[in-house]
Amino acid sequence: MSEIFEILKYILPSLIVAGLVYFILKEFLKTDNIKQQTEIKLANQKLITPIRLQAYERIVLFLERNSPNNLVLRVNKPKMTALDLQISLIKTIRDEFEHNLSQQLYISAKAWDLVKNAKEDLIKTINTAASQTPENSTSADLGQMIFKLSLEQKNSPQKIALDFVKKEIKMLFY
């Protein structure tokens, strides 16, 4: 019996020390893991932040370039028919949108939805303007109709998207 007590005198403190060491090491490793994850996140942020900011810049540029005024003035060429202008405008919008598709990875889902809505609304406005101009109209006639329809919109989807993206940029980067 006394032998058991002698053995327990040595084993019990050893087990207590081993248990304490286990819990201390477990907490240390947990804290170290959290620290490493934080460092990785900070390194990623340093890498991703400029890319995200560039994505927002490209979306703002897309929205500005595709405002009805800028778009018609940029795409319209002398001696174009209304149909030629309509086709060129829609092709330009779609090409620029496809060129910026990857930007959706870096901006919020809501901002991207607003950009898509702005694109679709602009195409709809162009098609509506084309349907309201006579068949043999010039590109200038179609351009005027597009300007007229866009002026009738109080809050255009392009403006809503642009304002939202600018607000999001300020919120994230300032």
Domain that holds residue 90: 52-173
Would residue 85 count as lying in a domain?
yes
Per residue in 98-107, pLDDT (tens digit) is 999 999 999 9
3-state secondary structure the chain: CHHHHHHHHHHHHHHHHHHHHHHHHHHHHHHHHHHHHHHHHHHHHHHHHHHHHHHHHHHHHHHHHCCHHHHHHHHCCCCCEHHHHHHHHHHHHHHHHHHCHHHHHCCCHHHHHHHHHHHHHHHHHHHHHHHHCCCCCEHHHHHHHHHHHHHHCCCCHHHHHHHHHHHHHHHHHC
Per residue in 51-80, pLDDT (tens digit) is 999 999 999 999 999 999 999 999 999 899
Q: Which residues pair with 138 in a beta bridge?
A: 81
Number of domains in the chain: 1
Is 49 a residue whose pLDDT tops 90? Answer: no
Would residue 20 count as lying in a domain?
no
- 89, 119 contact by CB (below 8 A): no
What angle in degrees, to the nearest 10, is found between the helix axes of 68-75 and 82-99? 110
Q: Say what the pLDDT of residue 2 is.
A: 79
Q: Say what the pLDDT of residue 157 is.
A: 93
Would residue 43 count as lying in a domain?
no
Band of residue 92 on the pLDDT scale cut at 50, 70, 90: very high
The reported pTM is 0.76
